[in-house]
Structure 1
Amino acid sequence: MNSMTYEKLQYFELKERVKDHCVSGLGKALLDQLQPSSLLNVVKIRLNETTEARNLLNAENHIPLKGISNVGNLIEKLEKGMILEPAELVAIADFLRGCRNIKKFMEDKEFFAPTLHTYALSMTEFRSIEEEIQFVIKGNMVVSEASKDLKRIRNQIGKTESKIEERLNKFLKSGANKEFIQEFFISKKDDRFTIPIKASYKNQVDGTIVEVSSKGATVFMEPAAVTKLNVELASLKTEESMEVYQLLATLSGTIYEQLKPIKVNIELISQYDMIFAKAKFSKSMDAIEPKINNHGYIRLKGCRHPLLPQNSVPLDFELGKDYRSLIITGPNAGGKTVVLKTIGILTLAIMSGFHIAGEEGTELAVFDHVFVDIGDNQSMENALSTFSSHMKNISEIMSASSNNTLLLFDEIGSGTEPNEGAALAIAILEEFYKMGCLTVATTHYGEIKRHSERHSDFINAAMQFNNETLEPMYKLLIGESGDSNALYIARKMNVSEKVLLKARRYIDNKDYDMDRVEAHKIKKTKIISTTKEDVYEFEVGDKVKVTELNGDAIVYKKRDAFNNIIVLFEDTFIEIHANRIELKLKASDLYPEGYDLDSLFVSYEERKLQHDLERGSKKALKKIASDIRKELKE
C-alpha cells in the first residue's frame, strides 16, 4: 500500500467518519495511527473486536466512556518531574474513575464480548488515588481541610485580613482624612489592601503608594497603619503557597509511582474508545462482519461504498475463483470508477477492522498490497503528461507487487494512440496475471474486451445501461460486454443508418472500405447577379449575400408565392425578399451529392446537446430520454 492508494480510495475520509464516533482524543489518536493489516489473524481479531462492541451496543443503552479525556500530556509532565495543577489532578482522577467504570461494566460481559471482557482484566483500579484527589481538591482548588497546617494558615490569613479591613474602615470614617480620599472604599491591588487617595494629597497621607490610576488623578495607597499587617499577611500567603505546593507535589508523586499501570490503562481505554467508535459506525450503516480469507477471493453481495448515501445502488461482485482478472466496460458516467473504488475501500476497511454495508455471504480477501491507478496523475512538477504519469505509477506498482496483490486500474492504457494504448494495456494485464495478482480494470478499448473474452482466466463485465431512458443503471453485470452506446445515441440523433451499419461492421472487424472516389472540389464562383431576364431559383443550402445586413447567409426555404426566401443568418432565421440577396456559392458546389442539408440548420442548443452526449453528460442523456418519451406518448 502507498499514499496514492489511501488518497484515491478515500481511506483517510473513511477514518474521519469513524473518528466522529470517538468520545475522547485517545481513540482519535489511535485511529490516526491505524493502517490496514495484511495479516489474516490480526484482521480477524480487529473484526471480532468490532463485532463484540456492536453486540454490546445492541444490548446496552449506555457505554460508560463519556467524560474520559486524553491525559497523555499530563503523564508526560509527570515524567519530566513537573507538579500537576489542581485542574490537571482532577482530570487524572476523572480518567481513573472512567477506567474503573469501564472495568466494572465489562465484568459481566464475558458472554456478549469475551475478548473485550479479557482486556478489562488487565486494567488496574486506583480508587485510593481518586479519593485522595477528591479529598484535597474541590472546584479545581485545594481545600483548607486538605491538611491541618493549611487550615491553620488560612484561619490566620482570615483573621489578619479582618484586622486590616477594620483599620482601613476606621481610616475611611475619620473626618481628618475625608478631604484626602477620592473614593470611599477599600481596593485590593497586587494582593495588598489600599485606599484611593487624591493625587494632590498623596504627600499628606502617611503610607505607601501601591498603584497610580491611568489618568494620574488617583493614587492607591497603603496607609502606614496597616503596613505591618500587610507584611504579616504576605508572609502567611507565602506559607499557604508552600503548603499547597507540598500537597500537589504529594499527589503528583503518588500518581508518578503508578505510571506504568496507568499507562496500560491509557492504552486499554484508547483501544476501547476506538473499538466502540468502529461499532457505532457499523451500527449507523447497519453493517456486517464479512467472511475473510487470504487466498484472493472476493464476493460482494449488495455492498455499498461507506462514503456514499445509503440509497446508492448496491454492488454485486465476484473475483478470484473462476477468474482472476475482470475487465469492466460501459458508457462514461456509468459508474465504472465507483465500482473500482468500492472494491478498494471495502478491502481497506475490513483490513482495518471496520464492518461494511452489505448482505450475508459477502467475503473479502486480505492482501499484502492494494494498488490503484485512478484519475489524472499529471505532474506539473516533474513535467509528466497524464499518460506518462500513469505509466510511471504502473511501473512502480509492477516492481512492488506480489502474488497476493489487488490491482485497480481505471481506463488502463488511455491517454495515447488507441492501438498502441490497447496493446500496451493488454501486455500489462498479462504480466500482472502471470505474477499472480488479482486485477480489476475499466476500459473503452474493444481490443482489451476481446482479449478478455478469449482468455480463460479473464472475464468481462458491463455497467448496465437503460436503452429506453438513456440513463446508466450503476449496476455491474459480470460476464457481459458493454459498450459506450455511441451507436445507439447516434441513431437517436438521426445519423444516417447507412453510416451506422458501416460503423457496426468496422467494430466487428477492421475490414475498412478502401475504394477510391474522386474528391468533390469546391469551385470558386463569382457572385451571380439576378435580373428579370435571367432569374435564378435559389436552392436550399445556397450561400448568399444579404445586402442590407452586409453579411452571408444560407438558404433555408426556397422562394414562395410572394418572392420571399427564408435564410439562416447568424443562427437566426430571417424572411427576406429575393431581390435583396445575391448568390455567392451554389449548394451543389459546396456539398457532395447526398449530403444531409438539414444538418446545416441544427440549432446551437442541438449542437450543444450532441457535444454533451459525446462526453457522457447525464443531463443530456436525460433530455434525450424525455424527448423520446414525449414522442411515444404523441
Structure 2
Amino acid sequence: MQVSEDILRILEIPKVIAEFASRVRGELGLSALASLRPRAALEALQERMELFRNYISCRDSFGEWPWNSASCISPLLAEAKRSGMLSGEELAAAARFLALSRMTREHLEKYRGAYPLFEGPYRQARDFSNEADALGVLDDGGRLYDSASPALAEIRRDLESLRRQVRRAAQGILDNPSLSHMLQERVTAYRNGHFVFLVRQEFVNRFPGTVVDRSGSGSSVYMEPASLVPLNNRLALRVRDEREEEEAIFRQLTKKLLSKERPLRETEEVLAMLDLFYGAAAVMHEKKWKLPQLTEKTMFSFHDARHPLLGDAAVPVSIKCGDRFRSLVITGPNTGGKTVVLKTAGVCVYLAWCGLPLPAEEDSVVGKISSLFADIGDEQSIEQNLSTFSAHVKNIISILEKSDRTSLVLLDELGAGTDPQEGAALGIAILDTLTREKGLTLATTHHNPVKQYALTAPGVETASMEFNAESLSPTYRMLLGIPGKSNAILIAQKYGLPENVLEKARKALSEREVPVEDLIAELNERKAWLDREESEAALLRKKLSEERELYSEKMREIEFRKDKILSEAEKKAAALLEKAEQSSRDLLKNLEDAAKSAVHRQIRETGEKVRTERKKLEQNQEKRLLRNIPSSGFTPVVGGIAQVAGTGVAGVIESLKGNRAILRAGAMKMEVDVKKLVPTEKKPKSITVQEHSSSAPDRVPPSVMVRGMNVHEALPVVERYLDQAMRLGYDQVTVIHGRGEGILRREVHALCASLKYVASYRLGGPSEGGFGVTVVSFRR
C-alpha cells in the first residue's frame, strides 16, 4: 500500500507510532519503526501478520525471546567504511550485536520445526561464529585482552616491568629526606605520559628535575625527576608501541566486520523486526489492540475502533466500507466527531497494512487497499497563493489522477469553502466519480443536496454523528444508514446567540429544505429509540448468558463434589480390602500346617471378592472420566489424530473395531475405548526405533505418561515403552501413573517384577513426583 509523507502527517501517524516506540527494548526496535512502511502486496502482509502471531505463540509457549543491550550495526559499518578503524568501544558494541544474533538464531532454529515461518528469519540471520570469536579478544568495555596478539602481550609485560621500576625509583625519592620535604604531596602523578611529582613553588629551582606542568591553583608545579627521565622515556616508547599494536588489531577486526557488511545488515533487519514485534505485543497486552483478519476484497470493517491519540476518552465507533457500498457519506454537527472518524479509519488501515495491531476489536477485517489518499483540514498554501477552496480542488485533482479501484480516499468537508450550491454540486460530481470509477471513499459534508444524493445513489451509504437535542451536545456515536442534521441553529442557541437572530435564521430556511431536515430529525429519533431497545436487549442477552454460565458452573461443582465423595469412599473401601488381604496373609503365617489348606481355600475366596471389588472401583473411575469428557461431536476415523481424555497422550488412530480403537503414540500402541478419544491440535511425535544404539536418543522420551488410563490400556503401553527404552540404552526411565487409588501403580510394579531386564523399581522421591511415579532401572 502506498501512502505519501503528507498523508502520514495529516493522519498524525508519527504520533500513533510513538505508542510502539515507547515499548520496544532498544535502538533496533526504533530503527524498525523509523523504516516502517506498509506492505506492498496482500500476500506479504499475510505472511508478516502470521509471523507476528507465531512470535507471540512461541513466546507464550516457551518463554520470552533472548535479548541484550545490543544496538544497530549499520552506523558502526558506516563509520568503519569512512575511517577504516573502529574504536574498542565500537567493536565491543559490535560484539554485543553478534551475541544477540547468535542467541536469536539459536532460538529460531530450536522452534522452526513447530513454526515453519521462522525458517525465513533463521536463514536471514547469518552465522557469525568466526567474527564473534575474533571479537572475543575484547572485554565488555572495549579494552583488548593481553592475549589479543603475542606482540601486545610482550609489550604489556614490558610496560608492567617498567612501571614497577618507575614506582621503585619514585619510592626512593619519597624516602629521601633531602627531597621529600620539597613535595606538595607524597604521591606520584602522571602528566603528559610521564610520572612526575607535585613540587612546591619555592623549591622549583632546587628540585633535581624538569617542569612538566603547573597545578590548577598555581602554588605548585609538576616536575619530572632527573632520575626518572630514562625510565619515563622508555615507558613512553612502549606506550606508543602498545597504541600502535592495538590500532593494528582494531583495523584487522574492523576489516573482518566489513567483509560481512551485507549479511550483518540483513541480520540487523531480523533483530529490528523482532524488537518491533516485542513492542507491538506489549501494545496488544496493555491497550487491548487486536490484529485484524485479511480478505482479498477491497473493503474494511472496524468494530469498536478508537482513535489512539484520544486515549480512554475515545468513544468506540464501527466503520465499514466496500462490502455493500463503496462510498460512505458522514454528516452531523461541527465538533461532532466526523473528522475523527475519517482519521480513525485511515490510521487503522495504515496500521493493518504495516502488520501491526489496531485499536479495534479482533473481528475487524481489512482487505486489499493499494493506496491511501486524504484531503483533511485546511491545506491553504500562502507560498502558492492558493485559497482554502483552491487547495482542496488541487488535492482532489491529484487524487482523481492517482487513485484506482483499490484505493481508499478520505475527504473532509466535501464541497466546502465556496458557494454552497456550487460546492454541493461539485461535491456530488466528485463523489459520483469516485464511487463509479475509483476505490473506496469516506466523505463528510454539511450540504443537504449531498445528503439527498447519498440516500438514493447506488453504492453510496449515509451515516451521521449522533447529537443529543436535550443537552445540545454531540455524543460522538456514529449511526450508520441515517443522514444527520448540522444542528447549527441549536448549537448557536446553546452558545447564546440572540433569539431574534435565531428566529430569522429559522425563517430563512427554504421550504424545500425544511421537510428534509424534519425527516432527518424523525429518522434520528427513531434510530435513537432502536439503539436504546437494542442496548436493553443486549443487556438481557448478556444477563441470560451469565445466568446460564453460572448454572453450568454450579452443576459442574455439584458433579465434582459428587465424584470427590465417591472417590473418597472408594479409596476407603480399597484401603479396607488391602487391610483384609494383609490380615489374611498374616493369619496364614501363624497357622499350623494342618489348618493351612482350609485357610488357603478361604483366602482364595476372599481374594476373588477383592478382585471383583477392585474391578468395580476401576469401572467407576473410568465412568467418571468418561462423564467428564466434554461433548464435542468428535467422530474418530482411521488415520485421524486424537488424544486420550485426561492425559497428554496424542496419536494417530490405526484401526477401529466396535467401541475400541488402536492408537499409535510415537512408537507405542495402545487399545483405547473410543469414548475416551477427544479432538486435539497436538501433532503426534514420530519416533523411529533403532535396534542398536550406543546412547539414549532424544526421540524416545525419558518418561511415559499413562495417568488416566485403565489397567488394560496402560500395561501394553508401559511394557512396550520399557522394552524400547531398554534396547535404546537408557539406564533408568520414569513411568507416570498418578496417585489415584493405587490400582494402576500396583499393576505397573507387578509388570516390572515380571520383566527380566528390569533390575529394580521404586517410587519417585519428593522431587521426582512421589507416589505418582515409578522409577525403573535396567540391567546392564
Amino acid of the residue matched to residue 475 of structure 1? R
Deviates most, 309-318 or 220-229: 309-318
1:162 aligns with 2:164: yes
The equivalent position to 1:507 in structure 2, one of 499, 507, 513, is 513
Give SS of 2:187's match: coil
In 2, the alpha carbon distance for the partners of 1:244 and 1:39 equals 50
CA shift, 1:317, in A, is 2.7
Contact 1:347 1:365 in 2 (8 A): no
Give SS of 1:333's match: coil
Amino acid of the residue matched to residue 158 of structure 2? Q
Amino acid of the residue matched to residue 422 of structure 2? E
Deviates most, 488-497 or 160-169: 488-497
Gaps of 5+ in 1: 511-634
Judged with a 3 Å threshold, the aligned counterparts in structure 2 of structure 1 residues 107 and 234 are, in CA distance, closer, same or farther, namely same
CA shift, 1:503, in A, is 4.8
In 2, the alpha carbon distance for the partners of 1:211 and 1:61 equals 59
In 2, the alpha carbon distance for the partners of 1:23 and 1:370 equals 31
In 2, the alpha carbon distance for the partners of 1:5 and 1:207 equals 73
Judged with a 3 Å threshold, the aligned counterparts in structure 2 of structure 1 residues 41 and 171 are, in CA distance, closer, same or farther, namely same
1:10 aligns with 2:16: no
Instruction: Provide the identity percentage.
Output: 29
Contact 1:323 1:459 in 2 (8 A): yes
Give SS of 2:309's match: coil
Match of 1:434? 436
Identify, as 1 or 2, the structure richer in helix: 2
Judged with a 3 Å threshold, the aligned counterparts in structure 2 of structure 1 residues 163 and 380 are, in CA distance, closer, same or farther, namely same
The equivalent position to 1:377 in structure 2, one of 373, 376, 379, is 379
Amino acid of the residue matched to residue 410 of structure 1? D
In 1, the alpha carbon distance for the partners of 2:182 and 2:302 equals 91
CA shift, 1:99, in A, is 0.9
In 2, the alpha carbon distance for the partners of 1:441 and 1:257 equals 54
Contact 1:54 1:280 in 2 (8 A): no
CA shift, 1:483, in A, is 0.6
1:408 aligns with 2:410: yes
Amino acid of the residue matched to residue 412 of structure 1? L
Contact 2:190 2:196 in 1 (8 A): yes
Deviates most, 211-220 or 467-476: 211-220
Give SS of 2:107's match: helix
In 1, the alpha carbon distance for the partners of 2:239 and 2:362 equals 71
CA shift, 1:350, in A, is 1.2
In 2, the alpha carbon distance for the partners of 1:51 and 1:120 equals 17
| Residues 308-356 of structure 1: per-residue CA shift (max 9 Å, x gap) | 3245322223322332222111122221111111111111111111122
Amino acid of the residue matched to residue 318 of structure 2? D
Contact 2:200 2:220 in 1 (8 A): yes
User: 1:45-60, aligned counterparts within 5 Å?
Assistant: 45-60=47-62
In 2, the alpha carbon distance for the partners of 1:490 and 1:30 equals 49
Match of 1:221? 223
1:245 aligns with 2:247: yes
Contact 1:297 1:321 in 2 (8 A): yes
In 2, the alpha carbon distance for the partners of 1:153 and 1:489 equals 86
Judged with a 3 Å threshold, the aligned counterparts in structure 2 of structure 1 residues 326 and 214 are, in CA distance, closer, same or farther, namely closer
User: 1:10-89, aligned counterparts within 5 Å?
Assistant: 10-80=12-82, 82-89=84-91
Give SS of 1:460's match: strand
In 1, the alpha carbon distance for the partners of 2:141 and 2:312 equals 46
The equivalent position to 1:99 in structure 2, one of 98, 101, 111, is 101
Match of 2:462? 460
CA shift, 1:363, in A, is 1.7
RMSD: 3.0
Contact 1:83 1:252 in 2 (8 A): yes
1:272 aligns with 2:281: no
| Residues 560-602 of structure 1: per-residue CA shift (max 9 Å, x gap) | xxxxxxxxxxxxxxxxxxxxxxxxxxxxxxxxxxxxxxxxxxx
In 1, the alpha carbon distance for the partners of 2:504 and 2:78 equals 80
CA shift, 1:501, in A, is 8.5
Give SS of 2:15's match: helix
In 2, the alpha carbon distance for the partners of 1:276 and 1:243 equals 42
Contact 2:209 2:223 in 1 (8 A): yes
Give SS of 1:37's match: coil
Contact 1:97 1:127 in 2 (8 A): no
Amino acid of the residue matched to residue 513 of structure 2? I
Q: Which has the higher contact order (CA 8 A, sep 6+)?
A: 1
1:445 aligns with 2:447: yes
| Residues 161-203 of structure 1: per-residue CA shift (max 9 Å, x gap) | 2333333333343344366544443332212122333445444
CA shift, 1:502, in A, is 8.6
TM, length-normalised to structure 1: 0.73
Give SS of 1:194's match: strand
The count of residues paired between Structure 1 and Structure 2 equals 510
Judged with a 3 Å threshold, the aligned counterparts in structure 2 of structure 1 residues 255 and 476 are, in CA distance, closer, same or farther, namely same
In 2, the alpha carbon distance for the partners of 1:19 and 1:182 equals 55
In 2, the alpha carbon distance for the partners of 1:221 and 1:213 equals 11
Gaps of 5+ in 2: 517-780
In 2, the alpha carbon distance for the partners of 1:216 and 1:395 equals 76
| Residues 381-416 of structure 1: per-residue CA shift (max 9 Å, x gap) | 222222222222222222222222211111111122
Contact 1:93 1:130 in 2 (8 A): yes
CA shift, 1:449, in A, is 0.9
Match of 1:478? 480
Deviates most, 298-307 or 125-134: 125-134
Contact 1:402 1:437 in 2 (8 A): yes
Match of 2:602? none
TM, length-normalised to structure 2: 0.60
